[in-house]
Amino acid sequence: MGPGQNCTVRAEWVAAASIAAGAAVLGYLAYKAILCKDKASKAMVNPNIQKDNPKVVHAFDMEDLGDKAVYCRCWRSKQFPLCDGSHTKHNEETGDNVGPLIIKRKEA
């Protein structure tokens, strides 16, 4: 093997390694974009309610609830924190299954 052939073999290996690395990167990016479900779990839940507060918190006295209270858990209600049924549209659009939190007094 002469000096010219050694350079040719080396260039072929560099080209093959570059193509393999590029294919690996493209495969990884395709996996993350298409198959990996981690992207959905990092999505923001609250789209627009009290975004100026570091944490949205509501507190109610049990005595003030009456016989029944229905609270939003999808963050889409126009009457938040009370449920207005917006979860129905949210579930249809996203395939989610979220529903309201219902608090009621026990029947005696």
Query: What gap in Å lies between CA 25 and CA 27, rounded to an integer?
Result: 5
Q: 35: which 2 tokens?
A: 């198959």
Alpha-carbon span 98 to 94, nearest angstrom: 10
Phi then psi for residue 31, to 5 deg, are -60, -50
* Residue 55 a catalytic site member: yes
Give the DSSP H or E segment for 26. helix 3-30
In order of 24, 90, 92, the CA distances from 58 in angstroms are: 48, 22, 27
From the list 55, 78, 104, 106, the catalytic residue is 55
Q: Which residues carry out catalysis?
A: 55
